[in-house]
Chains A and B, each alone.
Chain A
Amino acid sequence: MTQPDVVLDSPERTVGTAGDYLELMKPRIIMLVVFTFIAGLVAAQSVTGLVINPVLAIVATIAVSLGSGAAGAINMWFDADIDARMARTATRPIPSGAVPREEALSLGIIISAMSVLLMWMASNVLAAVILAISIVYYGVFYTMLLKRRTPQNIVIGGAAGAFPPLIGWVAVTGAMSVDAWILFAIIFFWTPPHFWALSLVAHKEYERVGVPMLPVTHGARATRKQMLAYTLILTPIALAPLLTGLGGIVYAFVSVPVSLGFIYFAVRIYRSRAGDADAGDKERKLAMSMFAFSILYLFLLFAAVLAEHGFNLYMPVGG
């Protein structure tokens, strides 16, 4: 396990509020996790015909959001030293002095246990085990082992963010299926181009704190190439629900244009000088546009799944 090699400067303590503790749990990531979890849960009920008690579904949703928050708190505890030295993260609760570091770890561990227990009670043991794995995967495997060691950190670590729809599916059915793994794979292969778009802009900060992001270790050109490659791999996976029947007409109308849009951005990035030493404001804006579009892309794909299976809009492709 790589221990932080920089001792965190003792920040001046400010008065920590409940909001600071909430911030520690990365609420924006929780929203994405909950959204994809619900998409998996709703799709599983519609596709398999199995149902979960609505109250238990709400409890399971709370459990997965707590699990995500707990993993986020553990991540912030371990990364406090590098967060303090990056402009983007310097205002987080630990570097700002609002939350003591050891409290973040305690919060993360206790809430992890509570979330897994709740998931078990609300659904089944398999969903609880996958939730536990996803917390350990992000909080320990990605944060402590991968992030500071390999430029493939977010490729392998991307699985952590891909678990929620799988957990949602398993919470209903008690088993995994091809459709559940497709939802997992969409997020898994979406993560590298999404995160590297941001890395192309912020690579100097990562370099300064010693995090081996791909643009730092292999340069911007190799990163742009990998982004295009992962986008091209992602496209057939994003369209796969149309073949298995998980996605219907609505999904087709959404997934085809947004996939083309994502490829368009990846090609533009590939042909640009984004991330290069002499890159200007135009390239920076392009990278940030792709980053923003990638969020919209994932949101629209899962919104289409949710709309079709949660609001009776499903019409199979080809009648």
Chain B
Amino acid sequence: MKDSNDPALAAQRRRNLWLGLALFGFVVLVGVSTAIRLQDAALTDDNSFYFNGSMSVPAVSETVLELVE
């Protein structure tokens, strides 16, 4: 078992802490970026950030016409 006062072990713990904080920071940045992009996105347009299951008006019209024909 390693000595808890071992400088190498202490340094490794500090590095792990920094690594954890960095990963947390990355997750926060991705989350914040996604939230802002979603807020700004026009989700019903063809250039939607994500497909939300609804179609744009021209696409709906074409589909209806095809069904009528």
Contact = CB atoms under 8 A, between A and B. Distances in A.
- Main SS at interface, chain B: helix
Contact of A53 (B7, B26, B36): B36
Interface in A43-82: 53, 55-56, 59, 62
B3 interface: no
Interface stretch (B11-19, B50-58, B61-69): B11-19
Given A114-B26, A121-B37, A21 B15 contact: yes
A17 interface: yes
- Main SS at interface, chain A: helix
A152 B34 CA distance: 42
Give the residue among A17, A18, A62 with the most B Cβ atoms within 10 A. A18
A53 B40 contact: yes
Chain A: number of interface residues, binned into ranges: 10 to 19
Nearest to B25: A62
A62 B29 contact: yes
A53 B35 CA distance: 12
Interface of B: 7-8, 11, 14-15, 18, 26, 29-30, 32-34, 36-37, 40
Given A21-B15, A118-B26, A122-B33, 9 more contacts: A15-B11, A21-B18, A55-B33, A56-B36, A62-B29, A114-B26, A117-B30, A118-B33, A121-B34
11 contacts: A15-B8, A18-B14, A18-B15, A21-B18, A53-B36, A55-B32, A55-B33, A56-B37, A114-B26, A121-B30, A122-B33
